[in-house]
Amino acid sequence: MSLKAAILPVTPFQQNCTLLWNDETMRGAVSDPGGDLDRIMQTVSELGITLEKILLTHGHLDHAAAAGELAARLDIPIEGPHRDDLFLISELPAQSEKYGFPPVPGFEPNRWLENGDTVEVAGLTFDVRHCPGHTPGHIVFFHEPSRLAIVGDVLFNGSIGRTDLPRGDYQALISSIRERLWPLGDDVTFVPGHGPLSTFGAERRGNPYVADELFA
């Protein structure tokens, strides 16, 4: 069995929602369903996937706003992020109104995740890395056999996550990237929260915020 993935940019923020599934059983999960649920479910139907859980990297609106509705609609659990993002998830109904998103039902994840935890999706195991900085409870999901990481807004192709939002911390973010992501390997391909894919090796060579040469 092997992991398959499909990326769907959703919401006006063009956030990368990711479908992850086992190609043998066609069962899987959706990571960061920030909105556009009808489009997400249409793609799920077209691909023939049965969703069995929702994974959240962090609590920002464009990543988590539709999670509660989707969980209720399909009767599936929400796993992640780290508990330190509870304050953001609690604010989602008010934030959705502020930014013109559809109404968001309040929810709390079924399982908060810690650094070193694992998440099972259709027989596939994802390792959890707590990577604070963009938000205090931000986590990353890593599937070691596929060398694929879902990194949310920690790291981007050529950039890093913002730290000027509530409880952001620039030094914590830099440490998260260098201490929790780089050891996973230069060959790891990552799906960022926005924009195109990259590899950890490419970012170590050329990212203007976290390239190795900046810390030599």
Domain range for 31 is: 3-215
DSSP helix/strand/coil, 164: coil
Domain count, the chain: 1
**How many H helices and E strands in the chain?**
7, 13
Q: What is the pLDDT of residues 99-118, one digit of tens each?
A: 888 888 889 999 999 999 99
For residue 187, count CB atoms less than 10 angstroms from its CB and return exposed for 0-12, middle for 13-18, buried for 19 or more: exposed
Is residue 22 scored above 80 in pLDDT? Answer: yes
**CA–CA gap between residue 216 and residue 188 (Å, rounded):** 22
Q: What is the pLDDT of residues 69-90, one digit of tens each?
A: 999 999 999 999 999 999 999 9
Is this structure's pTM higher than 0.75? yes
Q: What is the CATH number of the domain that holds 194?
A: 3.60.15.10
The mean of the pLDDT values for the chain is 97
With a CB cutoff of 8 Å and minimum separation 6, the contacts of 189 are: 147, 148, 149, 197, 198, 199
